[in-house]
């Protein structure tokens, strides 16, 4: 004959059931939370890089010269989140005037159709993760001015720019 359930055995049963529910919730929830955090970090740095690129391009188009562009001042003016500024360092690699002029002349040789010709005054705009960044210090995101494309964290699998292509004669 079966014994009636005692109060202690019911409490144990409920505790085990609650623990099972908590474990299942963690197993299902933690990967989603981690993915959410990664997507949030991707969105934050992509937004910052787009804003910086637009600011540099606007400065160039407005002033027709890049000397005088102050990166620190630009980052303040863009009002990027403090967390982004703490977790990422930004750098711009400018082109020599001769390189820029040669590229512009080359693009203007073929004017067989109506189109906008753009030659970036910079080789790349890059963000490098700091030690405060949970992604790992040194992780990179960059905008390639010659190819008009973003690369690195959250864009593709590239971990470094093609330095030899960017700076063929260092």
Length of the chain: 170
Instruction: Evaluate whether 140 touches 160 at the Cβ level (below 8 Å).
Output: yes
- The tens digit of pLDDT for each residue in 105-164 reads 676 666 666 666 666 778 889 999 999 998 889 999 999 888 888 999 988 988 888 888
Q: Using a cut of 0.85, tell me whether the model's pTM lies above it.
A: no
Helix (H) or strand (E) run with residue 102 in it: helix 97-108
Q: What is the per-residue pLDDT for 141?
A: 93
User: In angstroms, how far is the first alpha carbon of the chain from the final one?
Assistant: 89
Sign of CA dihedral 41, 46, 51, 52: positive
For residue range 132-141, list pLDDT tens digits in order. Answer: 998 889 999 9
């Amino acid at each position: 004959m079966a014994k009636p359930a005692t109060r202690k055995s019911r409490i144990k049963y409920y505790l085990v059931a609650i623990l099972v529910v908590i474990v299942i919730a963690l197993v299902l929830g933690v990967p989603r939370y981690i993915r959410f955090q990664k997507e949030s970090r991707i969105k934050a740095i992509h937004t910052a890089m787009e804003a910086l690129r637009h600011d540099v391009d606007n400065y160039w188009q407005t002033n027709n010269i890049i000397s005088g562009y102050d990166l620190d001042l630009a980052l303040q003016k863009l009002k990027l989140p403090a967390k982004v500024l703490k977790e990422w360092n930004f750098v711009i690699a400018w082109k020599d005037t001769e390189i820029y002029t040669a590229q512009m002349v080359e693009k203007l040789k073929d004017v067989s159709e109506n189109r906008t010709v753009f030659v970036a005054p910079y080789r790349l705009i890059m963000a490098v993760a700091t030690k405060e960044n949970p992604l790992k210090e040194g992780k990179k995101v960059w905008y390639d001015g010659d190819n008009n494309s973003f690369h690195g964290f959250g864009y593709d699998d590239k971990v470094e720019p093609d330095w030899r292509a960017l700076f063929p004669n260092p």
